[in-house]
Structure 1
Amino acid sequence: MSNSKGSHRAARGRGRTEVVRPPAPLPAAAPASVPLHERLTLAAWAVHAPTVVDLPSPGRPPAPHATGGRAAARRAARRHWAPIGPESLRRLVPQALVVAFLAGGTTAFVACDKAVTLDVDGRPRTLHTFADDVDELLADQGVTLAARDSVTPALGSELADGDEVVVRPRR
C-alpha cells in the first residue's frame, strides 16, 4: 500500500472518472429563416468543438435551455419570475412590520440610553439610564434631598451621555 494522496480513494472506487464522448456532429449551414443571433450561435459551434462540460451527463436528460439556444434560456428564466401576488403581500407585510418595529425599538434604545456618573457623598458610580433630567435620575435612584443639599448640575437640567451629577449634603 502506498502513501500517495488519492490512492485510498481509488481503492474504494471513489475516484472521479470523466466520460469523454466524441463531439456531436457540427450543424449544417443554417437556413435564412433562422434568426441572425441563432445563426451566429450555430457558427460559434463550428469554431469551437464541444467540451466535456458542454456534453450532457450520462443518464440525465439535457437541460431544457440546452435544446433551444440562448433565446430559449432567456425565456425560461423570465418564466420563473412571477409577479408578486396578494398572497405574497399578505405574508410580506407582517414580516416587514416586525422588522420595522425591531429596528425602531433598537434605535430608540440606543439613542435614549445615557451613561451618567452619579456621585452621592463622595461615592461615584456609573449608571445607564433613560432619565431626561437630573430630577428624574435622582428619583429613579432613590436619592432623597434635604433642603440644604447641593446638586450639580442644577435640578431640572437636561442629562446627556457622559454627564456627572454630584450631590453633596450641607452640614
Structure 2
Amino acid sequence: MSNSKGSHRAARGSGRTAVARPPAPLPAAAPASVPLHERLTLAAWAVHAPTVVDRPSPGRPPATGAPAAPGGRAVARRAARRHRAPAGPESLRRLVPQALVVAFLAGGTTAFVACDKAVTLDVDGRPRTLHTFAGDIDEFLADEGVTLAARDSVTPALGSGLADGDEVVVRPRR
C-alpha cells in the first residue's frame, strides 16, 4: 500500500476511518454579493473558539462582521503602537544604567581624543613623531625613556607645558 496520501495509520489499515464533519452553514449576514470563497471563510470562522486575535481590544467596540478598515492589520498595529501607555518605572530602571554606560563611553572617548597629543621628539638629530598623554616636557621625556645628562640642552625648557604639534629637541653637549 502506498503512503503518499493520507495518514500513516490509514495506510497501515488501523481500522479507524475519518469522520467528515458537515460543512458549517453559511452565515445569514453574508449577502449574496459576497463571493462564495469569502462566505466559506466566514463560515469557517464560526466553528472555532475566539482567540486573542478574534477578541475585541479593551476600549474598542467589538467587530461586527463589517469589512476591515482600509490598510488592514498593519494600520491597526501602527495605531496600537501610538496608543501605548507611557513608560513605567520598570522601563526607567533599565534605561538609566544603559544611559550611564553610553555617557561614560562618550566621555571617555572625548577625553582620549582631547588629551592625545602628536609631538615630534628630536634626539641628537633623529626626529620621531610620537603620541602622548603627558602634560609637560619632563613627563614626556620620562615616558619615552630619554635620560638627560647635566649639560644636555632641551628646547623648550624642562617643566614647560606640552601641546599638540609641539617639537621637543634634545641636544647632548660634548
**TMscore range, shorter length:** 0.5 to 0.7
Q: Deviations over 1:119-170 (max 9, x none)?
A: 0111110000000000000000111111110000000111110000000001
- Which of 91, 96, 104 aligns to 1:93? It is 96
1:7–1:21 Cα change, 3 Å: closer
1:77–1:60 Cα change, 3 Å: closer
The alignment's C-alpha RMSD in Å is 10.4
> In proportion to residue count, which structure has more helix?
1
Aligned residues between the structures: 171
Does structure 1 conserve the Cα–Cα contact (< 8 Å) formed by 2:117 and 2:165? yes
In structure 2, the residue corresponding to 1:67 is in which secondary structure? coil
In structure 1, the residue corresponding to 2:70 is in which secondary structure? helix
Does structure 1 conserve the Cα–Cα contact (< 8 Å) formed by 2:121 and 2:167? yes
Structure 2 spans left out of the alignment, 5+ residues: none
Does structure 1 conserve the Cα–Cα contact (< 8 Å) formed by 2:25 and 2:43? no
Displacement after TM superposition at 1:66 (Å): 1.7
1:97–1:80 Cα change, 3 Å: same
Q: Deviations over 1:82-120 (max 9, x none)?
A: 111011011101110110000000000000000000001
Comparing 125-134 with 62-71, greater Cα deviation is found at 62-71
Structure 1 CA distance for aligned equivalents of residues 119 and 15 of structure 2: 67
Q: Larger radius of gyration, structure 1 or 2?
A: 2
Q: Output the TM-score relative to the length of structure 2.
A: 0.56
1:125–1:32 Cα change, 3 Å: same
Does structure 2 conserve the Cα–Cα contact (< 8 Å) formed by 1:131 and 1:159? yes
Structure 2 CA distance for aligned equivalents of residues 55 and 83 of structure 1: 24
Structure 1 CA distance for aligned equivalents of residues 69 and 161 of structure 2: 71
Structure 1 spans left out of the alignment, 5+ residues: none
- The equivalent of 2:18 in structure 1 is 18
Comparing 12-21 with 129-138, greater Cα deviation is found at 12-21
Structure 2 CA distance for aligned equivalents of residues 17 and 57 of structure 1: 41
Does structure 1 conserve the Cα–Cα contact (< 8 Å) formed by 2:118 and 2:132? yes
1:109 and 2:112 are equivalent in the alignment: yes
Structure 1 CA distance for aligned equivalents of residues 25 and 147 of structure 2: 96
